[in-house]
Amino acid sequence: MSGGLNPFAPPESEPELSDALKPSIGTKKSASLGRIAIRWLLVCSVSAVPSFYLGAEISDGQFAAMVLGVLIFASGYTILDYKTALTDLRQNRLMSITLRSVYITRMLLTLFFPIGLVIDMSCGILSVGCTEALFGGNAIETFPGALFTTLTQGAVLNVVLAIYGLLVAGLVMLFAPLFRSVRTWLFGPSIN
């Protein structure tokens, strides 16, 4: 063996991500707080349509509590998005693709009403059961009970979205090199 290289030695540097997934740090400006707030208000409002449809019956019309719950989530997402927009993690292409894919999928599921309805109903049943177990059988018909149920359902849906996001991230990591090689095959190597 020439040069004294050990093929079994650990690499001296960290393994690199595919070029398609490398971060583009410093190239992105943070959006204004107003634009971020409008975006998350739209995402949360559209995503809440199936839950409002289902919740109107069992919460005895506690729309104010459900609206407040959606506004709390939209505010939380807005603050989190605004504060983390320029961090290395959020500038990472893999994270950007994953987050967009997850929330676009969530909105599309809402538009295809039966599918979104089943997902929301499953999480809603769990949330209603939790509220009734903690506060009694009729708690959901009160403002605090409906608000608690809305927040619980939002949290459960976020766990479901996080699990889905891990799956999306795995698929993106798996197929990103394939897309890059197809692009190179079709359009030639990129000149940097």
Per residue in 149-163, pLDDT tens?
999 999 999 999 999
Percent of the chain with pLDDT over 90: 38
Cα dihedral 103, 105, 106, 107 sign: positive
DSSP 140: G
* Pair of tokens at residue 125: 């049943």
DSSP 8: T
Q: In which domain, by residue range, is 80 found? A: 32-187
Q: Is residue 7 part of a domain?
A: no
pLDDT of residue 179 exceeding 80: no
Is 41 buried (19+), middle (13-18) or exposed (0-12) by CB count in 10 A? middle
Q: Is residue 20 part of a domain?
A: no
Model-wide pTM > 0.85: no
Query: Residue 86 is inside which H or E element, if any?
Result: none
Q: Is residue 132 part of a domain?
A: yes
Interhelix angle 93-111/113-135, nearest 10 degrees: 90
pLDDT of residue 37 exceeding 80: yes
Q: Is residue 55 part of a domain?
A: yes
pLDDT of residue 16 exceeding 60: no
Q: What pLDDT sits at residue 72?
A: 97
Q: Is residue 97 part of a domain?
A: yes
Q: What pLDDT sits at residue 94?
A: 85
Q: Is residue 43 part of a domain?
A: yes
How far is the C-alpha of 132 from the C-alpha of 146, rounded, in Å? 11
Q: What pLDDT sits at residue 49?
A: 85
Mean pLDDT of 120-140: 91
The mean predicted confidence, pLDDT, of the chain is 83
How far is the C-alpha of 5 from the C-alpha of 15, rounded, in Å? 18
pLDDT of residue 29 exceeding 60: yes
pLDDT in tens, 52-78: 888 888 888 789 999 999 999 999 999
How far is the C-alpha of 158 from the C-alpha of 104, rounded, in Å? 14
Which has more confidence, 114 or 40?
40
Number of domains in the chain: 1
Q: Is residue 82 part of a domain?
A: yes
Q: Is residue 15 part of a domain?
A: no
Q: Please name the amino acid found at residue 89.
A: L
